[in-house]
Structure 1
Amino acid sequence: MTTPRCRVISDNDYAGDPDGLVQLAHLLLSPSAQVRAVIGSHLAVDDPFGSNAGDSAARAYQRVQEVLDLVGMAGQVPTYQGTELPLVDTDTPRESAAADAIIEEAMRTDTDLPLFATFGGGLTELASAYLREPRIADRMTAIWIGGPEYPELAVPPPGALHPEYNLNIDVAAAQVVFDSPIPLWQVPRDAYRQVLVGMAELRAGVAPAGRLGRYLFDRINDAVAKVEAHGHRMGETFVLGDNPLVLLTALQSAFEPDPSSSQYVLRPAPRITDDGSYEHRDDGRTIRVYTRLDLRLLVGDLFAKLSLQ
């Protein structure tokens, strides 16, 4: 029987794109990750796809309960609703039980399991937790799906949103985190867009996987229909852009644990400007920026776990 090798706090805008829900199901089905908290966080106030109506964290929290029930873990994992609003500036934290939970878990002294705090949306709760208790920086690693391409590493896709979608949720929070000493593994847009799967693959590998699989596939279909109703043709693929959070935590190598089959570069953390761009600085602390992801392991493990649960 697989025993946990790490602790994970999962924070995501679960009321937004359903890739977050797929990520959550994948994480909960991964026995090497001890899920210590799940946080439903807010979407952008000016979400370009019109997904939010002022209560996105509340709806995200409800989605979390639905997935936990379908996985058979209702009531077994602490869940929290994040704040509904981004930071007002880089000095003032938002008060929330979610930020409290991050602080409490990071400051534990009764376990030696490494702690990963993973974020598939904005960074509001992490920034708030750090502003209130800076000592958490020495006791965790943050993994974030977000941020635009680094010009020397990749080219933005045609018509790319600016600021990048997840960064746009809370630019001030990203500024806090990038300026902090919190160890950071970043999966920017050019990397998370690699997790491209065919709708036929999802129909064959996800939809038949019981009530959970049908729920996830239906949420993906709902999202596709909503976007297409606004005149955008989605084609035959869907991006599971949040699932690298599982790849980089639960699916680390057996010996010398690390995401050994994915590639990253080490670089100074840039300064995040108010308009959501990077400003290079030589004195920034070193962060990991992932450039290539092991898609075979990621997608294969997801489909296998869904079929076996």
Structure 2
Amino acid sequence: MEGKKKNLAESGNEINTAELLKRLEHPSGRVDVVLDTDTFNEIDDQFALAYLICSKEKLDLQAVYAAPFSNEKAKDPAEGMEKSYQEILHILTLMERDDLKPAVYRGSTSFLSSETEPVLSEAAKDLAERAMKYTKEKPLYVVSIGAITNIASALLLKPEIRERMVVVWLGGHSLHWPDTREFNMEHDVAAARIIFGCGVALVQLPCAGVVSEFATSGPELEYHLRGKNKLCDYLVDLTKSEAEKYAKGKAWTRIIWDVTAVAWLLDGDFEEDYLVHSPIPGYDNHYVLDPQRHFIRYVYHVKRDSLFTDLFAKLGRS
């Protein structure tokens, strides 16, 4: 406890383990999904958003939340969130899915200042309300591919939703990596500590050491996507343009990180995972491991060729 407010980052062991393990199983049948994305930050969020929409046989997209970020593309989290919001709309335009635009919500304009105070936003409030419509037996699936501020804020607003949703997060590095200085986690360690600590059903896709193997090249993108549709041409041009900024004529591959988070929900043979005790993200950019902690599901391998085959086929038909 901190004052009168419960610290969710320390409450995971209060949850029913059997029920948690049930929610951590791969979902069967078609499921409801929301996507939390810092879409303007890189080039991979665009692929992930389109892939999710194209996987309608399994995933029923309910809402999209714009996540905050800051780097050379955005001077602060508020600008990063707004640029992401606009990029989400742009992808929907390219896919001729204007029907989804009313379900796009602006997210946090800052990162968490503590582990007990939410950042209020349309996205956090929508998730807090939306998740309450689900149950332990039929949860809402939350795919997060940016700083997890919006999700943590929703949990702080309404802690009861932790048993009504499953969070699939691309964040942090692999457990054997020497640090946790990964973009999504490092932006908001307080939010990450809430997600790893509160007992929500969590599937982690670590970046360096796991998802880092999911890379493609310019010639491969040209071969599989060029000329298929407006979206595909945009994704090829965007990826090649960004890659050339750092490659400058040299050979390059580009990791399409965020697609892997969507893929975990699908029925294809794309990834391998197992249960681990939830690590504690530290403010010193290292994990603390405690075998008494509750379980999360941890992806340790991505089947690169299988997943790219499915991704390219679906985007080409969009």
TM (norm. structure 2) is: 0.84
Determine the structure 2 residue equivalent to 1:64.
88
Write out aligned runs for 1:292-307 (5 A): 292-307=301-316
* Residues 69-78 or 84-93, more deviating: 69-78
Alpha carbons of structure 1 residues 226 and 8: separation in structure 2 relative to 1, 3 Å: same
Determine the structure 2 residue equivalent to 1:34.
60
Determine the structure 2 residue equivalent to 1:141.
166
Matched, 1:211 2:230: yes
Matched, 1:127 2:162: no
Matched, 1:184 2:199: no
Structure showing the higher helix proportion among its residues: 2
| Aligned with 1:252 (options 247, 267, 281) | 267
* Whole-Å separation in 2 of the counterparts to 1:61 and 1:96: 13
Determine the structure 2 residue equivalent to 1:243.
259
| Aligned with 2:283 (options 268, 274, 282) | 274
Alpha carbons of structure 1 residues 162 and 188: separation in structure 2 relative to 1, 3 Å: closer
Determine the structure 1 residue equivalent to 2:240.
221
Cα distance, 1:98 vs. partner?
A: 0.2
Write out aligned runs for 1:6-45 (5 A): 6-31=31-56, 32-44=58-70
Determine the structure 2 residue equivalent to 1:150.
175
Cα distance, 1:194 vs. partner?
A: 1.5
Native 8 Å contact 1:5 1:113 kept in 2: no
Cα distance, 1:51 vs. partner?
A: 2.5
One-letter code aligned to 1:52: A
Matched, 1:51 2:66: no
* Whole-Å separation in 1 of the counterparts to 2:187 and 2:218: 27
Alpha carbons of structure 1 residues 20 and 234: separation in structure 2 relative to 1, 3 Å: farther
Q: What secondary structure is seen at the aligned counterpart in 1 of 2:94?
A: helix
Alpha carbons of structure 1 residues 111 and 308: separation in structure 2 relative to 1, 3 Å: farther
* Whole-Å separation in 2 of the counterparts to 1:36 and 1:112: 18
Structure 1 unaligned spans of 5+: 254-259
Q: What secondary structure is seen at the aligned counterpart in 1 of 2:142?
A: strand
Q: What secondary structure is seen at the aligned counterpart in 1 of 2:172?
A: coil
One-letter code aligned to 1:39: Y
| Aligned with 1:200 (options 219, 230, 253) | 219
Alpha carbons of structure 1 residues 198 and 286: separation in structure 2 relative to 1, 3 Å: same
Q: What secondary structure is seen at the aligned counterpart in 2 of 1:203?
A: helix
Q: What secondary structure is seen at the aligned counterpart in 2 of 1:53?
A: coil
Alpha carbons of structure 1 residues 113 and 207: separation in structure 2 relative to 1, 3 Å: farther
* Whole-Å separation in 2 of the counterparts to 1:118 and 1:234: 34
One-letter code aligned to 2:261: L
Alpha carbons of structure 1 residues 261 and 58: separation in structure 2 relative to 1, 3 Å: closer
Alpha carbons of structure 1 residues 139 and 111: separation in structure 2 relative to 1, 3 Å: closer
CA deviation profile, 1:178-203 (whole Å, cap 9, x unmatched)? 11110000010222112111221111
Determine the structure 2 residue equivalent to 1:263.
272
Matched, 1:289 2:298: yes
Q: What secondary structure is seen at the aligned counterpart in 1 of 2:210?
A: helix
One-letter code aligned to 1:262: E
Alignment RMSD: 2.2
The runs of at least 4 consecutive aligned structure 1 residues that moved more than 6 Å come to none
Native 8 Å contact 2:166 2:200 kept in 1: yes
CA deviation profile, 1:198-231 (whole Å, cap 9, x unmatched)? 22111111232211111111221232233347xx
CA deviation profile, 1:17-58 (whole Å, cap 9, x unmatched)? 1101011111111112110111111114xx3xx222220100
* Whole-Å separation in 1 of the counterparts to 2:223 and 2:143: 28
TM (norm. structure 1) is: 0.86
Native 8 Å contact 1:268 1:284 kept in 2: yes
Q: What secondary structure is seen at the aligned counterpart in 2 of 1:126?
A: helix
Determine the structure 1 residue equivalent to 2:24.
none
* Whole-Å separation in 1 of the counterparts to 2:183 and 2:226: 27
Native 8 Å contact 1:200 1:236 kept in 2: no
Matched, 1:175 2:184: no
Percent same amino acid at aligned positions?
Answer: 27
Native 8 Å contact 1:167 1:276 kept in 2: no
Cα distance, 1:148 vs. partner?
A: 1.6
Native 8 Å contact 1:7 1:113 kept in 2: no
